[in-house]
Amino acid sequence: MTSSDPKHSILAERIRSLRMRFRNGLPERLTAIRNLLATVDAIRVDELALHFHKLAGTAATYQFHEIAELAADAEALCGDYAIGPTLFAIVDDLENAVSEVIDVPLFLVPNATAPPGDEGDLARARVD
């Protein structure tokens, strides 16, 4: 399959669309994590770890490496039941990383592509 192959173009567009959907949903994911973190106890720490695990895996899949690494670090702290200042600092760092990703036009994000002619404003468009 070559880049001029129609199947490649369809696949590339689908991946781009999924990546944009993930990127645009990051603030909502962080809100859920913050809400859970505010009420976490020993029983719910596994639920919090699962949120971080999913975020780390999906961010890595879509090549948002900083977000993936921070989420993996947070997951490890949950596994150690280390709910404290370090975890809160990582969540702050996650929010900063997400803000940077959201504020950057998608065509400037590594390995992202915009449809022909959409390199400007539409590269920031949300996918619903």
Give the structural domain span for 114: 6-124
The reply to whether the predicted model has a pTM over 0.85 is no
Instruction: Report the CATH number that the domain containing residue 108 is assigned in CATH.
Output: 1.20.120
Whether residue 1 lies inside any domain: the answer is no
Q: Read off the pLDDT of residues 17-41 as tens digits, 9 standing for 90 and up.
A: 999 999 999 999 999 999 998 888 7
What DSSP line would sit under 11-34, residue for residue? HHHHHHHHHHHHHHHHHHHHHHHH
Whether residue 26 lies inside any domain: the answer is yes
Model pLDDT, residue 4: 66
Model pLDDT, residue 104: 60
User: Could you tell me the CA-to-CA distances from 53 to 5, 40, 48, 50, 127 in Å, in that order?
Assistant: 35, 16, 9, 5, 24
Q: How many domains, the chain?
A: 1
Q: Read off the pLDDT of residues 91-103 as tens digits, 9 standing for 90 and up.
A: 999 999 999 888 7
